[in-house]
A and B are shown apart, each in its own frame.
Chain A
Amino acid sequence: MLKIKNIETAYGNLKVLRRISMHVDPGEIVTIIGANGAGKTTLLHTICGLLKPRAGEMVLQGNDLCRLSPEKIVKLGCSLVPEGRQVFATMNVRENLILGAYVRYKKDKKKALAELDKIFALFPVLKERENQLAGTLSGGEQQMLAMGRSLMAKPALIMMDEPSTGLAPLIVKNIFEIIVKLKESGNTVLLVEQNAKAALAIADRGYVLETGKIIVQGPAEDLLANNDVQRAYLGREAV
């Protein structure tokens, strides 16, 4: 689905990503874990076109992403659930969701609207709040709205940036269950998380990012058992 080879991204002179290679296969949950400032968000922003890489290759289902604008990349089926939700606070839930289908709304309004029902089935609470302003929702509800909004684009690849940030543990559990549900219904998810333990628990594979480099990668269960990962990201000192 997504193949990345030797990507380098920089802000001015500051190289943030150094030679990142990774891939996501269809139907997988792949997680990228790492500490603050490791480059996780930069990587997602590079994939979805908000930042342009200095070097390397990115291919999504056969399409070269390096030169495409973010809009084109969304149209190709790559959709981002941004960190901190970024819902449109002054619009209601329904409007927020419909905006998510922006890229296909004009062409096929009916189908786009039919998608709404699926979203409401997945997130019943959004149905209850359909006409409520997004800014009045709780953090967890906003996260669900942000996920629902990105699903409206019917993406081939859903990228989530720190969906657990600022949420109560119970809500985080709920959000992660929904991510698993998304996978079960055939979606492909690239999940960026600081909460390494929770992310690895649901992921198929993981990459550990440290100062812009992938230092370890492999099946999620192997990473959970890897002592380097345990020490650095799971807060457990090996005995």
Chain B
Amino acid sequence: MTDKSTYWEQEKECMAREDLEQLQLERLQSTLFRVATHVPFYRKKFKEMNIDPDGFTSLNDVSKLPFTSKDDLRNNYPYGLFAVPLREVVRVHSSSGTTGQATVVGYTKNDIKNWSNLSARVLTAAGVDQDDVVQISFGYGLFTGGFGLHYGAERVGASVIPISSGNTKRQLTIMQDFKTTALVCTPSYALLLADTMAEQGININALPLKYGLFGGEPWSEGMRKEIQEKLHIVATDNYGLSEIMGPGVAGECQECNGLHINEDHFLAEVIDPETLEPVAPGETGELVITTLTKEAFPVIRYRTRDLTRLMPEPCPCGRTFQRMHRVFGRTDDMLIIKGVNVFPSQIEEVLFDIEGTEPHYQIIVEREGRLDKTTVMVEVMESIFFDQMKKQRQLIDQIKKRLATELGISVDVKLVEEKSLERFEGKAKRVIDKRSL
């Protein structure tokens, strides 16, 4: 390997635990002060729970604070949880999904600066430096994936290709012509690119590709191995969510064994999703994050719904920030399809709205080749089956169209006869996820 600096901000990334805890406490105290002063939602919650935001003297006290959930974000749509007036907000992002399910987050100038910096840490840890050409194949736009790593890569001084997602053929042309050295996308898209290369007879050894930074959906060690072998790169995992900041919350170093959480900006806890109590150190549970430096959109104990465990043991890379294990899965029924967050309830709402359908459906997610394929099986009234094919096709088109608008991804729709889908006692099993990672 060439001689390149391993850290972006060594004095932070390798700081002594004791110093880190002091910094976290200071930042938590001023964050609590700010949310109690500027965000009515938290002021009310603190009052209800009889919490004195000034009474926090130890990081352990964080477990007394209220949680923030995705629903809280929805209920305060669009700007209710902002801690600064809108004129100080320089950027707004929104999570995937449209009406009802969308959540909005904002950034001040300082937030954008910090975000770039934290993404720069993740990129540096993954091996990227100013000599790299970074192809960002994450979607741009309201989704935070593209922009977060884009600014980080610019901060590092790399040459950034903001190609965004889609158009595989063009991705490959650009990868070859522009001499891409680092690829940023979802892991499944990386595999699709690899397969397409093989089909087109592109010689991977002739490409200068060295690093891949993958995130946006859960993946496995098996997939990592496959990507590394097929693309001849070091593949690292990175983690972020728009409610917290976007990519840059945590990222893997060259050890490829857990993601270092940027703990000077985020306080991470792992709780039992049932009892809501902290799990024993190192145990698996739901990741809960409190932002420590966010100005526009601070969140207290945000329940990420992502299952992971903390890895407090030191990492050979020298970073002192705790690692989190790659995300094991979700604590809710959210599906990540082609990198887009989809809740079965969204599909249900659409079906309810459409005449002729029964409230019985099943969602089947498969991986066809490298891409996710979603089929919604829906029961329809018998009268439709008596009628001619044309009417059925019309109905299918209508459902497809509505789902595409609602979810932002296209799905297949199959109509089935009444009572042909399996019935469940108690909790229905609406989703069949056949994807193996």
Contacts and interface: CB of A to CB of B under 8 A. Distances in A.
B22 A23 contact: yes
Contacts of B26: 21-23, 214, 217
Interface in B1-56: 19, 22-23, 25-27, 29-30, 33-34, 37, 54-56
A19 interface: yes
B308 interface: no
A227 interface: yes
A216 B34 contact: yes
A214 B57 CA distance: 13
Nearest to A208: B30
A19 B52 CA distance: 12
A22 B110 CA distance: 21
A215 B53 CA distance: 12
A213 B54 contact: yes
A215 B30 contact: yes
Interface string A77-103: 000000000000000000000000000
B401 interface: no
Interface in A16-54: 18-19, 21-23, 25
B88 A238 contact: yes
Contacts, number: 49
Contact of B22 (A3, A213, A215): A3
A41 to B, nearest CB: 21
Contact of B25 (A5, A225, A238): A5
Contact of B19 (A6, A23, A215, A218): A23
A214 B139 CA distance: 40
B109 A19 contact: no
A217 B34 CA distance: 11
A226 interface: yes
A117 interface: no
Contact of A215 (B33, B56, B110): B33
Contacts of B295: 226
A222 interface: yes
Interface string B354-366: 0000000000000
A21 B22 CA distance: 8
A238 B84 CA distance: 12
A225 B110 contact: yes
Interface string A213-235: 11111100010011100000000
B22 A214 contact: no
Interface residues of B, number: 24
Given A19-B54, A21-B22, A226-B295, A214 B88 contact: no
Contacts of B34: 215-216
A217 B22 contact: no
Contacts of B22: 3, 5, 21, 23
Contacts of B29: 19, 21, 214
B23 A214 contact: no
A5 B23 contact: no
Given A5-B25, A225-B109, A218 B88 contact: no
Contacts of A216: 30, 34
Contacts of B110: 218, 222, 225-226
B293 interface: yes
Contacts of A21: 22, 25-26, 29
A214 B54 CA distance: 10
Contacts of B108: 227
A178 to B, nearest CB: 26
B105 to A, nearest CB: 18
Given A19-B29, A23-B19, A5 B57 contact: yes
Nearest to A215: B33
Contacts of B27: 217
A217 to B, nearest CB: 5
Nearest to A212: B54
Contacts of A226: 110, 295
B87 interface: yes
A216 B34 CA distance: 8
B255 to A, nearest CB: 28
B87 A238 contact: yes
Contacts of A213: 33, 54
Contacts of A222: 110, 113
Contacts of B30: 214-217
Nearest to A227: B88
Given A215-B34, A225-B110, 10 more contacts: A19-B54, A19-B55, A21-B29, A22-B26, A23-B19, A213-B33, A222-B113, A225-B109, A226-B110, A238-B87
24 contacts: A3-B22, A5-B22, A5-B25, A5-B57, A19-B29, A19-B55, A19-B57, A21-B25, A21-B26, A213-B33, A214-B26, A214-B30, A214-B33, A215-B30, A216-B34, A217-B26, A217-B30, A218-B110, A225-B109, A226-B110, A227-B84, A227-B108, A238-B87, A238-B88
Closest 5 CB pairs of A and B: A6-B57, A21-B26, A222-B110, A227-B88, A23-B22
